[in-house]
Every structure is written in C-alpha cells, then in structure tokens.
C-alpha cells in the first residue's frame, strides 16, 4: 500500500519599489518581519489568487504578480512558492491602518527577518531570471 504525502503549501510575495522592500510583522510577540503571505487553502484559492489576496489583506496594497523568485522546501516540510510582484498603482504608500503591521524598508537597512525569508530575499537580490529550487 502506498502512502500519499501531502505538503502544506505557502505563498509569499516580495514587493520592491526603488531600493525598498515591503515587509509585514510576523507576530505581535516578536520583532521579526517577513514577506506578505501565508498558507494556501486548497479548497478556496488558486495559488496566484491566494498570493494577491494575502498582500491585500496584510498591507492594503493591490499587486500584480510578475515572476516566481523560487520554490522551496522548508524545515517544517512545507512547500513555499515565492513571487515577485509589481504595485498596480505604482506607489508604495501604506494606509495608516496597516502601518502597525507592515512597513517599507531600505534594502540596505532591513530589520530582523524571519529566518526562512532571508533566503527568499537573497535569491531575489541575485536577480536570477529562472525559477530557483532550494531547501532551507
């Protein structure tokens, strides 16, 4: 008898503007930041819709996905798909409602990042034009 292995799928979105990166606070209890995103609900969302919806819910910003930065297997045996996205209206301005939970940071002055998200940002900064596969 074969056993089906089911991974949890997460989606994250890397949003840059000029030399800045949009990040969301990972929890109220810690001071770590990361990319907008979360778990995929297999019954209600397509992968791209989930990524766009997470950005809107967590930052209030409308985006259009532009490419895949990478696909990763995490230490928690999750599959993470990381997208790069463009801001639809061209401006990276946060509504005051989202400022306690989201922030815009200079790429050369990022705050403490969630450990797995460090790899995602590093891969983006390498500016590879191909999908990157990795494990963390």
CATH, residue 85: 3.90.79.10
Position 48 scores a pLDDT of 92
* Residue 4 pLDDT grade (very low, low, confident, very high; cuts 50, 70, 90): low
Asked if residue 96 belongs to a domain, the reply is yes
**Region 32-41: what's the mean pLDDT?**
92
Does 92 map to a domain?
A: yes
pLDDT bracket for residue 128 (50, 70, 90): low
Would 3 be classed as within a structural domain?
Answer: no
User: Which of the four pLDDT bands, split at 50, 70 and 90, describes residue 120?
Assistant: very high
pLDDT in tens, 63-101: 999 999 999 988 778 899 999 999 988 777 788 888 888
89 domain residue, yes or no: yes
Q: Average pLDDT, whole number, for the chain?
A: 85
pLDDT cut 90: percent of the chain above it: 54
Looking at the structure of the chain, the number of domains it has is 1
pLDDT over 60 at 61, yes or no: yes
- Looking at the domain assignment, is residue 1 inside a domain? no
- Residue 82 in any domain: the answer is yes
Q: Which residue range forms the structural domain that includes residue 43?
A: 8-135
Per-residue confidence (pLDDT) for residue 101, from 0 to 100: 87
Residue owning tokens 């191909």: 130
């Amino acid at each position: 008898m074969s056993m089906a292995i089911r991974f949890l799928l997460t989606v994250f979105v890397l949003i840059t503007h000029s030399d800045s990166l949009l990040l969301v606070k990972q929890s109220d209890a810690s001071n770590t930041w990361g990319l907008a995103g979360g778990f995929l609900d297999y019954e209600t969302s397509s992968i791209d819709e989930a990524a766009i919806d997470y950005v809107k819910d967590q930052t209030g910003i409308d985006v259009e996905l532009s490419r895949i930065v990478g696909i990763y297997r995490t230490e928690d045996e999750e599959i993470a798909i990381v997208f790069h996205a463009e801001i639809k209206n061209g401006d990276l301005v946060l509504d005051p409602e989202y400022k306690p939970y989201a922030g815009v940071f200079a790429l050369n002055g990022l705050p403490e990042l969630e450990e797995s998200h460090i790899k995602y940002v590093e891969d983006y900064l390498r500016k590879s034009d191909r999908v990157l596969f990795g494990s963390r």
